[in-house]
Every structure is written in structure tokens, then in C-alpha cells.
Structure 1
Amino acid sequence: MTSVQNHQQLLSGNKKLKNFSFLLIIACIIFASSCAPKRGVLRSPDYKGNVGSKDPNATDATGNKDPDKESAAESGKASANKKYIDRKISLVLPFQLHEISIGSLMDADVKRSSLALDFYQGFQLGLDELAGKGSNFYLNVLDSKDDDFQNATLAQSEDIKEASLIVGPVYPKEIKTFGTNLVNKEVLQINPLAASMPAEFNLPNLVSLTPPIRSHINAIASEVARQYMPGDIIILYNTSDADGKQFLNGMLSAIKQYKPAVEIYAVSSTTQMNEKLSATGSNLIVTGTTDKFQIKTLLGNLDLKVKEGYYSFKLFGHPLWSRYDFEVYPNFSDYAPTITSENHLKNWSAKAKTFKESYYTRFGVNPSDNSYKGYDAAIYFGGLIDKYGGRNLQDHLTTESFNGLYSSYKFKHNDAWGFSNDAVSIQVYTGNAFGLR
């Protein structure tokens, strides 16, 4: 499963016309440097500067520069200040502002940049929160342009060479190009959104935040094994669609690793399924299909068997089911549908409400999933830098777990392809939606 596959699927539904002015302001800042700051502008992309109260260019109450920091100001680069030698974060995102015509800003321009803007805004709010507690960072925001040449150039630039942490790029092809051309192979490169298997990149310094499909498979296998009771049977319902094949690949062995003594069958049709059903225990149906026809066929069959009065079912599905509308199936919730998710956002919590209000106040729109992800990434990695400094962060990733507003991090390490996040949550369908168990 790859959540960053193409640009059409990465749009933020709440941006629309509200973000036209925000994007136009950013475009003006970058291309013309002639627009005055307005509400909604936190930092423009291509921004370089510190985040925190200890500004290297700060002045005292009389307006005079702090003499201890004057040499850094004279140099024209905050990176010259040794206070920030281990606190430099480079944020590399596909704003693609070079494609925007300021005089005729279109909806397509907003959509093209929405993913980068959402993540960037959430990330900046996270750093601001840490700065409010006394932390300091030097943030360098760069536009990857979703372009191979631009990514290769950035990877070898002085801005990147000096970074103690790199967050981005976003799209799989960008990640590979950037990482391959990166000069400093010791600095961590954070893959913030793509759910591709880390082995596809083969970059030892890569940190993938989105749990790969293997983590979801293992989590469902563990949950199925936990719910299995003597007399139950487990049925793996194989389908021909790519998601279904990928999700059930290795599922049988994964379940048996958690509970070896299970009765488990693999079928590829409802006819075969019906031949294996148990009338004495629960039937635990595991499928990875995301094909609407296959889902309709499966649910129709379960409804018919329930009407016979002999069978009970528990249904386990693909994480992408969270995007589907199952209200058209009135009996769907009867099967306690269970999926995994990288998201454990509790919208009703005080912290979630505070973040949403702060985000809306700053930008005039509600946060998207990518905004929450950006915020969590800033809190976690900013916290690591604050705690350990920006050097040798890799020594702490596998020992420092994290439960954020939206995401959790529990990293595993591989010498060939770096660090992958293994943290997913279990969600159950109740009240017409999937939610935390």
C-alpha cells in the first residue's frame, strides 16, 4: 500500500478557495518579494531562519544587536552561529511554486501545492510549540519541485550538507533521487508520507514514518490470533485485485506465528468459503480486497449465511477500508469489521481540539491528515534534537517510541534500508465509521 502514489489523490479537501490568497502570498514572497505578510503566512518556502526565542539576529530593549550574536548577524547566515550547529533542519517539500502564474492563480495550483503546504504548516506549528518551551532550531525550507534534477541538485547543495536532519522529499521517486545523490550519508533523511516498503529505496539513512503494508499485515495477524478461540475457524478470502493479493501475502504464516494451533483455510470464492464454514464457532474472515464488487459479493454472501441461522462472523479487512462508505450495507457493523490504521487521532481530546483551533486561527482552514503528520514529526524529531543534539540521532530512534496527536512511532532498523515505523492501531467499525477500539 502506497499512500503517496499520484498527485490527484493527495489533495486536501478543505483548501479550495480559502487557500488561494495564502498560496498567492507565498508565491509573491518567493518570486517578487513584494507582498507584505498577512494572516496565514508562517514562513515562506525558501525561508531560512531560526525558530525560537534565542534569535541570532535579536536586538535588546534599546534596539541594539546583542554583541554576543553580532558576528553571526554580520555573516549573513544564522548557520555561522555555533548555537545551531546541531539544530539545523532542512524541510524539502514539493511546493512546485515555479509552475504558478501569480497573475492567474488557478485551483489546480492550489491542489498541486496543498500536500506540501499542509505538512509544512503542521511542522512549523510543532516547532513553534517547542520554541515556546525554550527550544531553538534553524529551519531551512526548500522546494523540491517534484523534479529529479532539482532533487539531485538540492541533495548536493550547501544547505543540505549543513543540515543535522532532513525531512523530505515526499514522493517515492523524489526520495530515491535525493537519497542517492545525498553527499552526507550520515544525516537522517525522513520519508514523511510515502508508505512504500523501505526496501524499495535501499537507503541506510532513511527513516520511513508511514508504516509499510507489512506492519499492517502483522498487526491484523496478531489481532486475529488474539480473537481466535477453540472451535473457531479462520478463512483467508483471496481475491484477484492487487491490494487483496498484497495484503494476504504471508498472512497465513503470520497468524500461525502468533498462534500455531489454529484451524485456517485459504479460499478464492464464496462457494469455497461456504464449504469451510463452521456452525459451532465463529468464522473469522480475513480479506485484503479493496475492489467494490468483491466487497459487495463477500458481504452479500455473509448476509445470506447469517439468515440461515447457523453461522456467526468476524470480518477483518484492508486499512484502506477507512476511506469507504459502508452505510449502503445495513448489516456491515454486525460483523465487527476490524482494520488497522496509522491514525489514532482522537478528535474529541483536548489536545486535538487545541491544535485544530490554533491551526484554523493561523491559516483560516482546518488541518488535514498531512497537517497532523507534520506536527507530530516536528514534535518527535525536534524533541530528539533538543534532548540529544542533532548528531547521532540514529542511536536513539529504536529506543525512543512516540505517541503523537495523529501518529505513533516505533522504529525497527535494518542496515540496508534504514528505519521503518511499525506502529499501527486497531480500529473497529461502529456508528457508521471506523474508530479506535
Structure 2
Amino acid sequence: MISVQNHLLPLSGNKWLLFFITALILGACSPKVRPVSTPVKKQTEKPENKAAEKSPVKPETRAAVISMILPMGLDHVRPRTYSSAGLTQANMSVEYYQGFKLALDSLTAEGANFKLQLYDSKDDASAAHSLAYNPQIRTSDLVVGPVFPDGMKVFTATMGTRVPILSPLSPASPGTINNPNLITVIPPLEYHAWGAAQYINEKIKPKKIFILRSGFSQENDYIVNFKKAIDSLGKKKIKVVTLTISRGQLGSLIPQLSKTERNVFVMPATDQAFLGVTLRSLDTLSKNYPVVLFGHPSWEKFNFLKTDILQRLNTHITSTDKINYKHGATIAFLRNYRKAYHVEPTDFAIKGFDEGLYFGRQLFEGDAGMAELDKTDFTGIHNSFHFVKKPGLGWVNAHVNILMYTNFELKQVE
């Protein structure tokens, strides 16, 4: 059974609002998945002692309380007062909630019992601060949210270490929050760097790696963690050469390149102008020197990148959002989500479903399930979960997928 409480402000009525409320109501009333019952055969003889035939009544499982804090901004619910950003956040919140709720509904078939409490953070630091004092939240078994890092910092600082707090959609480093009960489910950038380094070390085994940087400081986080990972995994036997490239000039690299072995390049840049020029230069270089390129995880969403060039450069990227729409679990989820909500699921809905399924199961296991996340890996629809415990920082999902451009599309290689 799932009990849903909506602690929201009174709202004025209009067509858009009706649609919004309908979405929440559908989420609260989505059908639960229950096992098919087996017909009982009629008895040919009456039992002499009916009381003895009765099975003992099993007590109802205690409901695990989950408090969800999402930026719905319902005090701006009228279309004329909702900003574009606010409307995007509201849609994201409803989509994530519906996916999470569908997962909890499916777990009731296994005997689980949940009480899901929904709160509006309004994407406001003062609101997050106030919610941290709410006794219903403070006595929860799991808190999901706030979504954005600023709200999470204020909330956790006030909340302390009373209950596990799940950061559901942000890849922000847990080092910026510093709470031992934090659960970071979207791998931060440092784990993308580590995943790329691990793949290079194990699958390519190069003697040298070239890091091509644009000079922008935002690349430093990736570069520092990549170097640290390569030194650790390769036992400092792999030489890392870092160069700042201007106007695509790669001529100084030629004396260090091999014509027989794969030359590994890492480009953590996200600047469009830099990428356009440098990738073309690297493409020219690849005509005489074998090249393998590893890019920033954001490249997956960049429409300005030329797929044909990326494919010729044997480009790899790390990702946490690769969905196999032909997989049986994905097909079943799509069917159930459409049936429950009569709309197509978004990436936020899929993330909500994966997280609801995993953490719902962990709560079903009791205190041991939430205390030993590192002992329970999970393969979801959008990503897998492999949690590591970081002292003072909580639990962090360290799993990233390795994708490669093949046949003009990104395909998973690991």
C-alpha cells in the first residue's frame, strides 16, 4: 500500500492547472502491480474443524516513509506567472514523481508498504531550510531531494545526519555538500574521468596519453581526476602529456605520435568554437596516425558535433543515460507507464522509476538494506548503480557507461 500526502498551497483554477493537478492525481492513483492469484479448488468434504483450517492473519508490514522534495513552484501555477524555467522545473518534478511512484506501486506486489509524502521546495533556499525542520520529514526513512545543489546544501546543513538523503538528479560532487548520509545517484564528473581512465588502461593499454585542453578552467576538474586515475590504475607507467591547443595547431605533437600503435587523445573541452577547429585538425592528423579519442560526457547532447568526424576518430564518451529501447525491461516499463499516465515517459520519469525501484527494495530490506548499498548493485533502464562509501560524503554511484560512435550512432561498448 502507498499513502501519498501532498503538502501544497491552495491553487486557482484554469485549464493548465487542471492538467497539472490531473497529472499529480494520476500519479497518486496509478494502478499497483499485483501477482495473479491461483484459483482455489473446491473441497469435496467439509473440514471437521473450520477454525483449525484458518490461516493466521499476517500483520501488515510497517510502511516505509519516503519524503520527496521537488521544485514544483505551485505558488506560481498560473501560466502568466510561471517563468519558462519554472515551468520546466514543474514538468520535471511531475515526470520524476510519476516514475518513482510507478516503481513503488510495482513493489507492493512483493508485500512492500510505503507512505510517500510530497513537498514543494519552490527551488528556494529558505523553503528548503524550513522543510528541514518539518517533523514529518525528519522522521522519514528516506528523503528524496531537494533537487538542486544550493537547496541541498541548505537542507542538509539544517537536517544534519538524521536520515538518508537522496540527491536524485544532480551530478554535483558530494564534496560540495559534506553530509555522511547523502546518496549521490547521478555520478559526478570525477567518476566519468575515472571510468574513461579505467577503460583506456584495461582495453587499450597505451604507453602515452595526450590531453588536449582549450585553456578554460572548467576543464581542470576532469583533467585532475583523470590524471589521478591513470597514475593509480597504470601504476605511473603511462605517460600523460597535457597541451593547451590554440587554433587547432597540432603540429608540435607529430614527433611524439606513433604510426603503428593507437594514439590516445583526451579532450575534456565543451567550448563549441574550440571543438570545431580542433576536431577537424585531429581528423586530418588521423589520416596518417591511428587515433582513439575520449571526449567529455556532455558531447552526447551537442548537436553541433559532426558524427562522421567523431566516427573516424574512434570517439568514446562516458554516459549515465544510455537507454536500450529494445530491452525487455524497458519495453515493460514503457507499457506500464503509458497505461498508468497516458503519456510518453521522459528521461526524468525513467530516472524516477529506476531510483524508486532500487531504493524501494532497499527500504523493504529494512535498516540493513539502506546501510549496505555497496553490497547491492542494480542494473536500471537508464544506468546501473554501483555505490561506494566515501567517508564524510555518503554514498556515491560510481558506474558510468562507455559509448563509442559506430555506424553514425552511439553504441555501448562497456
| Alignment TM class, shorter chain as reference | 0.7 to 0.9
For 2:264, the aligned partner's letter is L
Match of 1:133 in 2: 110
- Structure 1 residues 105 and 253, CA gap change in structure 2 (3 angstroms): closer
**Per-residue deviation at 1:267?**
1.7
Alignment of 1:366-405 (within 5 A): 366-387=344-365, 389=366, 391=367, 393-405=369-381
Residue 424 of structure 1 pairs with residue 400 of structure 2: yes
**Per-residue deviation at 1:376?**
0.8
Alignment of 1:138-149 (within 5 A): 138-149=115-126
Larger mean CA deviation between 264-273 and 372-381 belongs to 264-273
- Structure 1 residues 39 and 245, CA gap change in structure 2 (3 angstroms): closer
Find the residue that maps to 2:117 and give its secondary structure: strand
- Structure 1 residues 329 and 208, CA gap change in structure 2 (3 angstroms): closer
- Structure 1 residues 266 and 130, CA gap change in structure 2 (3 angstroms): same
Provide the rounded CA distance (Å) in 2 between the counterparts of 1:52 and 1:359.
12
CA contact (8 A) 2:210 2:264 kept: yes
For 2:99, the aligned partner's letter is G
Residue 210 of structure 1 pairs with residue 204 of structure 2: no
Match of 1:222 in 2: 198
Match of 1:412 in 2: 388
CA contact (8 A) 1:246 1:288 kept: no
Match of 2:151 in 1: 174
**Per-residue deviation at 1:257?**
2.0
For 2:231, the aligned partner's letter is K
Q: Once the two structures are superposed, what CA deviation does each residue of 1:260-284 show, in whole Å capped at 9, x if it has no partner?
A: 4334322222233334222232111
- Structure 1 residues 190 and 40, CA gap change in structure 2 (3 angstroms): closer
**Per-residue deviation at 1:364?**
3.3
Alignment of 1:263-412 (within 5 A): 263-269=239-245, 270-307=250-287, 310-325=288-303, 328=306, 330-387=308-365, 389=366, 391=367, 393-412=369-388
Provide the rounded CA distance (Å) in 2 between the counterparts of 1:316 and 1:84.
49
Calculate the TM-score normalised by the size of structure 2. 0.81
Provide the rounded CA distance (Å) in 1 between the counterparts of 2:80 and 2:401.
46
CA contact (8 A) 1:93 1:168 kept: yes
- Structure 1 residues 200 and 229, CA gap change in structure 2 (3 angstroms): closer
Match of 2:64 in 1: 87
CA contact (8 A) 1:216 1:319 kept: yes
For 2:26, the aligned partner's letter is L
Provide the rounded CA distance (Å) in 1 between the counterparts of 2:100 and 2:94.
10
Provide the rounded CA distance (Å) in 2 between the counterparts of 1:177 and 1:229.
44
For 2:153, the aligned partner's letter is K
For 1:305, the aligned partner's letter is L
Instruction: Point out 4+ residue stretches in structure 1 off by more than 4 angstroms.
Output: 20-23, 82-86, 102-109
Segments of 5+ residues of structure 2 without an aligned counterpart are: 1-13, 35-58
Find the residue that maps to 1:194 and give its secondary structure: coil
Identity across the alignment (%): 27
Q: Once the two structures are superposed, what CA deviation does each residue of 1:345-396 show, in whole Å capped at 9, x if it has no partner?
A: 2111122122123223333332121111110111011101112x2x355421
CA contact (8 A) 1:86 1:164 kept: no
- 95, 99, 124: which one aligns with 1:118: 95
- Structure 1 residues 344 and 330, CA gap change in structure 2 (3 angstroms): closer
**Per-residue deviation at 1:100?**
1.1
Match of 1:259 in 2: 234
- Structure 1 residues 274 and 103, CA gap change in structure 2 (3 angstroms): closer
Q: Once the two structures are superposed, what CA deviation does each residue of 1:397-432 show, in whole Å capped at 9, x if it has no partner?
A: 121111111121111112312111111111111233
- 209, 212, 220: which one aligns with 1:237: 212
**Per-residue deviation at 1:285?**
0.6
Find the residue that maps to 1:356 and give its secondary structure: helix
- 5, 21, 25: which one aligns with 1:41: 25
**Per-residue deviation at 1:108?**
6.3
Provide the rounded CA distance (Å) in 2 between the counterparts of 1:349 and 1:369.
16
CA contact (8 A) 1:127 1:379 kept: yes
**Per-residue deviation at 1:208?**
0.7
Provide the rounded CA distance (Å) in 2 between the counterparts of 1:397 and 1:294.
41
CA contact (8 A) 2:334 2:345 kept: yes
- Structure 1 residues 130 and 146, CA gap change in structure 2 (3 angstroms): same
Alignment of 1:16-165 (within 5 A): 23-27=17-21, 41-43=25-27, 85=62, 87-101=64-78, 110-165=87-142
CA contact (8 A) 2:208 2:238 kept: yes
CA contact (8 A) 2:266 2:294 kept: yes
CA contact (8 A) 1:170 1:192 kept: yes
CA contact (8 A) 1:287 1:317 kept: yes
Match of 2:47 in 1: none
Q: Once the two structures are superposed, what CA deviation does each residue of 1:295-348 show, in whole Å capped at 9, x if it has no partner?
A: 1222211222234xx311001111111102366353320222111111242111
CA contact (8 A) 1:41 1:363 kept: no
- Structure 1 residues 327 and 26, CA gap change in structure 2 (3 angstroms): closer
For 1:129, the aligned partner's letter is S
Find the residue that maps to 2:215 and give its secondary structure: coil
For 1:332, the aligned partner's letter is L
CA contact (8 A) 2:163 2:181 kept: yes
CA contact (8 A) 1:120 1:371 kept: yes
Find the residue that maps to 1:42 and give its secondary structure: helix
Provide the rounded CA distance (Å) in 2 between the counterparts of 1:178 and 1:323.
31
Calculate the TM-score normalised by the size of structure 1. 0.77
Provide the rounded CA distance (Å) in 1 between the counterparts of 2:331 and 2:33.
24
Match of 1:246 in 2: 221
Match of 2:42 in 1: none
Find the residue that maps to 2:165 and give its secondary structure: strand
